[in-house]
Structure 1
């Protein structure tokens, strides 16, 4: 049986002659018509002076998210749209965007506007400062003060402590959507649904260095959360067990010649 491999780079229609970006901002968006245009404007402001592109992956939205991004992209060619026919989840959307990215560095943030694009330059500076003999492959944002409901904050705090205790990744807030990492490093990771919640641990599994940086977190101004507390808890337990198994079954060979 012949299996078709989806390669977003082969599907890009915006590859006009122009300098390649140094950075690709990847945003997974579902039903974020009220936030996406403002978020793109904020990214443009934050990254003025950088060579970058913005890739929006519309994950089966039922609103006008795709139409809004498509209209912006007609006037601003650095804004690129990909669309999933049906919703496949945040991890799948991030993977589509990273596969399509032209920049060697990736920044991810949530499409709801709660991550602050003004923090991206600080993550870039932290990455560039760490380019020594043991360079960092990921800078993970850590929310200084979460603007979410009490139930969401408490459930996330418990989940982070359990995860950190089992995986020992040293990350206090792995759920922060604002992250910077090398595209090549991400594409080496094993892919599975909900993997975006375990990116620091998966990077460390490959022997990559992960640093953290405190970032802002804003209240949601439009739309609603796509995650239910109990549903996320149920799949989170299964995913955590899977990542624990992946780490325990990995042997990194020492190349001597």
Structure 2
């Protein structure tokens, strides 16, 4: 199989009813990016998620399946996908089909066009949240607090639709829920972050794996940790003096 130019990583936990739709929409919406690969990272599902993905592999040879024996969380699933990816550019989509796969070309375009090597992340920002009122209010409060503390100039870090350089992601200090702080951490490494508006859709199958209380509890400690990391990072300005004799 030809080496892919884009790796599309989709974490899934008990998303059996969304697998086929995700794969078929990716085939249609990302056709212009060929050759690409899609990695479904099954995070310890107890339903038929893996079986339904495997049933599609003969039809879609670019589909790969990475499996966690037990659930480790979305960030761990993203990391497993990035480590297994064969392309220099990775894109992530939530496995519930709320992020349309047709948005991936828009996300990867700035990275593919970048000739400077300075763009590290393209972060999707949902134009209109298609969640419950309680989730939208909780997310708005969390984003406001995060933006004030981290100064990351991003209004919606919870959006799962993102694209980034694989090597840049692997530079970042890994922790659970890192996927919510990628803009701040990529900037911490000295790379540029580009923001792109993307569509958001309502979940049509399965149930959410998160609650507002769970997000609030882990968010408080994570925010403090990322603030500490931002304060402790010092990027040197490096120059080479003289020259070496290669003869």
- TM-score, scaled relative to structure 2: 0.94
Q: 2:112 aligns with which of 121, 125, 128?
A: 128
Residue 137 of structure 1: CA displacement?
1.3
Give the match for residue 200 of structure 2.
217
**Partner Cα separation in structure 1 for residue 61 and residue 103 of structure 2:** 23
Contact 2:6 2:36 in 1 (8 A): yes
Question: 1:118 and 2:99 equivalent?
Answer: no
Give the match for residue 202 of structure 1.
185
Give the match for residue 57 of structure 1.
41
User: Which secondary structure does the structure 2 equivalent of 1:61 belong to?
Assistant: coil
Give the 5 Å matches for 1:9-28.
18-28=1-11
- TM-score, scaled relative to structure 1: 0.91
**1:12-65 superposed Cα distances (whole Å, 9 cap, x missing partner):** xxxxxx210000000000000111111110011011132100000100111100
Residue 68 of structure 1: CA displacement?
0.6
Q: Give structure 2 stretches of 5+ with no counterpart.
A: 241-247
CA 1:134 to 1:95, structure 2 compared with 1: closer, same or farther past 3 Å? closer
Question: 1:101 and 2:85 equivalent?
Answer: yes
**1:85-127 superposed Cα distances (whole Å, 9 cap, x missing partner):** 1100000000000000001000000000000111111122233
* CA RMSD in angstroms, aligned pairs only: 1.1
Give the match for residue 37 of structure 1.
20
Residue 134 of structure 1: CA displacement?
6.3
Residue 237 of structure 1: CA displacement?
0.3
Contact 2:107 2:163 in 1 (8 A): yes
Residue 254 of structure 1: CA displacement?
1.1
Contact 1:47 1:121 in 2 (8 A): yes
Q: Give structure 1 stretches of 5+ with no counterpart.
A: 1-17
Question: 1:66 and 2:50 equivalent?
Answer: yes
Question: Where in structure 1 do 4 or more consecutive aligned residues deviate above 6 Å?
Answer: none
User: Which secondary structure does the structure 1 equivalent of 2:55 belong to?
Assistant: helix
Q: 2:156 aligns with which of 173, 182, 198?
A: 173
Residue 74 of structure 1: CA displacement?
3.3
Give the number of aligned pairs: 239
Residue 76 of structure 1: CA displacement?
2.2
